[in-house]
Structure 1
Amino acid sequence: MDDTPGLLPPALPALRAKAAGAGFTMSCDDRTGGLLAALAAARPAGRILELGTGAGEGSAWLLGGMDPDSRLISVELDPEVQAIAREHLGSDPRVTLVTGDGGSWLEQYRGEPFDLVFADTWPGKFTHLDRALELVAPGGIYLIDDLTPRPEWPAGHGAAVERLSARLADRADFRSVRMAWSTGLLMAVRSAA
């Protein structure tokens, strides 16, 4: 079975070329991207948060699934990497690109909750997890990737992934499923009650 998505975001080739030229190798996997687009499409007028813009490939997938009334906030620490996303996606009125520390942003954010939170960096995943989960609306989705072990992982990172998975599985206010697919995903849905 071919599990690659059929409809690629229009900005993806340019984003990939610029990311490669900048030496940025941590962009969103196509299968994860296809899932992001589908989840965004399932939320008309949705509020979406992405932690870790990177070069903007995940953002492009999210925007590809979003309707005209949906909004995306994407936060990235590295201004040089995010500049790639800004160049190719910044004119889309549905996206707000924030340059800054994701943990600080999470601590300071006082707006409405989100229908989808994609945590693709340490803040919101390995740090500030509880705050990120607080920002998921009832019935909303929290998604993380990059959970499949890789040779370049630092010592102890595998144990951190397992602790994270266990914390999410133990939460009574979320239903979670870990998927051995793409780069290793975990999706948790906040209970409506």
Structure 2
Amino acid sequence: MNDTPNTFPTVLPTLRVAARNAGFTMSCEERTGSLLAVLAAARPGGRILELGTGVGEGTAWLLSGMDQASRLVTVELDSAVQQVAREQLGSDPRVTFAAGDGGAWLEAYKGELFDLVFADTWPGKFTHLERALELVAPGGTYLIDDLCPQPGWPDGHGSLVKRLLAELEGRQDFRSVRLAWASGLLMAVRSA
């Protein structure tokens, strides 16, 4: 079976060129992106949080799956990198961009819970995990990627990943599954 996506967001080639030009190498892997689009499509009128906008490849995948009533908040520390996403995707009224530290954003957020949380950066995954999980609505999904060894992992990062996986799989309030696919994923659904 070929697991390459057969449809792509139309803006993806432009975002990939911008990522290359900016030297940004941490964009969402396309199989992960296709899963994001499916998860977004499964939540009509859904509220979605993306932690780690980057240049907006994951954002584009999420938007491609969302219906017109859905809303996406995407947070990125590097405002220069996020500016690419703002330029290419900012005219879409379904997305709100937040520039700043994801951990600080998570701590300050007081709004509604999210149907899907995609943590594609340290805050919400390796830091501020509990806060990110608190923001997942009952029946909602929490997704993380980059769990298989990646080029550029700092020394000791593998042990952080093992600890994170053990913590998530030990929770009673989430049902989780590891996916040895794409960059290595874990998907967890909050008990209703």
Q: TM-score range by the shorter chain?
A: over 0.9
Distance in 2 (CA, whole Å) between partners of 1:151 and 1:50 is 23
The residue type equivalent to 1:64 in the other structure is S
The structural deviation recorded for 1:152 is 1.9
Q: What is the match of residue 112 of structure 1?
A: 112
SS in 2 for 1:150: coil
Residue 99 of structure 2 is matched in structure 1 by 99
CA distance in 2, matches of 1:166, 1:28: 24
In structure 1, what is the equivalent of residue 189 of structure 2? Answer: 189
In the other structure, the counterpart of 1:64 is 64
* Over 4 Å off, 4+ runs: none
For residues 133 and 151 of structure 1, the distance between their equivalents in structure 2, rounded to whole angstroms, comes to: 27
1:4 Cα offset (Å): 1.0
Give the SS at the match of 1:49.
strand
Percent of residue pairs bearing the same amino acid type:
73
Any gaps of 5 or more consecutive residues in structure 1?
A: none
Q: For residue 101 of structure 1, report the CA deviation from its aligned partner.
A: 0.4
Letter in 2 for 1:159: S
**Which residue matches 1:82?**
82
- Report the secondary structure of 1:21's partner residue: helix
What is the RMSD computed on CA atoms of the aligned residues? Answer: 0.5
Matching of residue 176 in structure 1 with residue 162 in structure 2: no
Per the normalisation by structure 1, the TM-score is: 0.99
1-structure distance, mates of 2:73, 2:153: 28
- TM-superposed CA distance for 1:30, in Å, is 0.4
Q: Are 1:140 and 2:140 an aligned pair?
A: yes
1:131 is matched with 131
Matches within 5 A, 1:42-61: 42-61=42-61
Query: Quick one: distance in 2 between partners of 1:114 and 1:90?
Result: 21
